[in-house]
Amino acid sequence: MTRNPNMREAILSAAELLFSTKGFNAVSIRDIALEAGANPGSITYHFKSKDGLLLEIYKRHCGPMNKRRIELLVAARRVRDVQDRLEAIVRAYVQPAFSSSSDLAGGGARFTRLRAVMSAEGNAVVGRIIAEIFDDTTNAFIEAIEESLPHLPRTTIVWRSQFLLGALYYTLVSPERVTRLSRGEADGADMAEAIEQLVSATVASLQASDVDHIDGQSGSTSRPAKPSAKGVAGKRKENPAS
């Protein structure tokens, strides 16, 4: 390939493309160099290692995304009405991930695909990078949800936040499936609609009744009776902070 004068950016772009399609483990420094039109020494010069290259990819995409998420979260936590506040918190998490790849705030579909592939591989290096980049921001959102839903255990909120992340990945990576299964009545590429649908579904999930732990002897799971709307309203009056 012809050498790119902006070699650092060419290497980052090539690595992102290869990691998003083949995974981290299957891609070598030589593969990245060939795709970028570089020599392997350029990669080690700029990024030290393949691990360092992946970390830089995450930082350049997720730095702006996490910064925007926290800005929106700060505003969301000021909302007085508990229902509106919860919706604002979820939207603060979801919306920045739908930013276009051109402004790098969230990275668009290719970086989302890379994140999904990296998570599925279970590589220890990838796990450390994901923890470094996301855990502080994610914990801030979990704590904000806890304040809005104080009756839910943190573990339940963590589970449901994990489901949100999976839905977010799939929505960004496979929008055409929505169009196909709706027989064209919905446009999976309509990001504004996708955000609203995802926020609505996540809020409903978060507000669902909790489940008891599985009975170790019988293997059955019992569910508590769903509180009535009157009961929930009563709790909110008793605890305005909820």
pLDDT on residue 118: 85
CA distance 200 to 192: 12
Mean pLDDT of the chain: 84
Picking from 202, 22, 205, 194, the residue whose alpha carbon sits closest to that of residue 108 is 194
pLDDT band with cut points at 50, 70 and 90 for residue 212: confident
Q: Which two tokens stand for residue 210?
A: 């909790």
pLDDT on residue 1: 44
Q: 39 in helix, strand or coil?
A: coil
At residue 161, does pLDDT exceed 90?
yes
Rounded mean pLDDT, 105-131: 79
Picking from 128, 89, 133, 139, the residue whose alpha carbon sits closest to that of residue 111 is 133
Lowest mean pLDDT segment, chosen from 16-20, 139-143, 218-222:
218-222
pLDDT digits (tens, 9 = 90+) for 12-30: 999 999 999 999 999 999 9
CA distance 98 to 137: 17
CA distance 134 to 120: 16
Stated pTM of the model: 0.77
pLDDT band with cut points at 50, 70 and 90 for residue 122: confident
CA distance 172 to 169: 5
pLDDT band with cut points at 50, 70 and 90 for residue 198: very high
pLDDT band with cut points at 50, 70 and 90 for residue 213: low
At residue 233, does pLDDT exceed 90?
no
- Contact at 8 Å (CB) between 20 and 51? no
